[in-house]
Amino acid sequence: MKRLAVYCGSASPADPRYVALARRVGQDLAGRGIGVVYGGGRLGLMGALAAGALEAGGEVIGIIPRALAEAEVANPDCTSLTIVDTMHQRKQAFTDLSDGFLTLPGGVGTMDELWEAVSWAQLGYHAKPVGLLNAFGFYDKLLAFQTHMIEVGFIRPVHGGIILAEASLDVLLARMGAHVPHKPIIQMSAKDL
């Protein structure tokens, strides 16, 4: 993996572990020679991620919608910063420029990005690994809900493993590196659906 799209919050929670985590992830990815493609912001976990990667000499590609750039949250320190018109263009760029997706703790925007990466993998619009760093048990309830969706029948068992979730970045990156794509919906017959 040469580049990962990293999804994380633009907020800075009161618990300092989250911002510190994002900075460490940026440093670790840079240390492994993995470039960061992210939302282009300078605030919260996003800013810490970029700062960590840049401090360690890594590549940081920011993709930010014009409205957010104009609100003065764009990070001018990125290796490259691209301003797009829409959130859809931003997420398409994440997919086009990355070899996989890594989700750190975050809020609504982070969930939107994660689930779009999962949905597109399920459908067959990409075959890249989708990693979820479940640091501090942050995503325990989300993973339980995913299991519930599988048990009820809204997620097919063949797609239940799209999200690769681990509490350790080392273990998660190893699993992402060994990722074998599943059979997407576009390759299934009607009887399989």
- Are 78 and 62 within 8 A, CB to CB? yes
Q: What is the pLDDT of residue 189?
A: 77
Q: Which residue is it, tokens 């750039």?
A: 69
Confidence category of residue 187, pLDDT binned at 50, 70, 90: confident
- CA distance linking residue 121 with residue 190, whole number of Å: 18
What does the DSSP 8-state code read for residue 80? E
Q: 67-71, 109-113, 155-159, 187-191: lowest mean pLDDT where?
A: 187-191
Confidence category of residue 21, pLDDT binned at 50, 70, 90: very high
- CA distance linking residue 104 with residue 81, whole number of Å: 21
- Are 113 and 94 within 8 A, CB to CB? yes
Which residue type is seen at 65?
P
Give buried/exposed letters for 163-184 (b at 16+ CB in 10 A, else e).
bbbbeebeebbeebeebeebeb
pTM (global) more than 0.85: yes
**In this structure, what is the dihedral angle of CA atoms 78, 79, 83, 87, given to the nearest 10 degrees?**
-70
Average pLDDT over residues 48-66: 98
- Are 58 and 36 within 8 A, CB to CB? yes
Whether pLDDT at 36 is above 90 = yes
Q: What is the pLDDT of residue 182?
A: 87
- Are 3 and 35 within 8 A, CB to CB? yes
- CA distance linking residue 49 with residue 52, whole number of Å: 5
Confidence category of residue 193, pLDDT binned at 50, 70, 90: low
Look at the domain 3-192 and name its fold. Rossmann fold (3.40.50)
Whether pLDDT at 188 is above 90 = no
- CA distance linking residue 67 with residue 73, whole number of Å: 10
Among residues 108, 65, 58, 109, the alpha carbon closest in space to that of 87 is found at 65
- CA distance linking residue 159 with residue 147, whole number of Å: 11
Among residues 73, 154, 139, 144, the alpha carbon closest in space to that of 102 is found at 139
Extents of the domains making up the chain: 3-192
82-114 pLDDT, tens digit each = 999 999 999 999 999 999 999 999 999 999 999
pLDDT > 90: what percent of the chain? 91
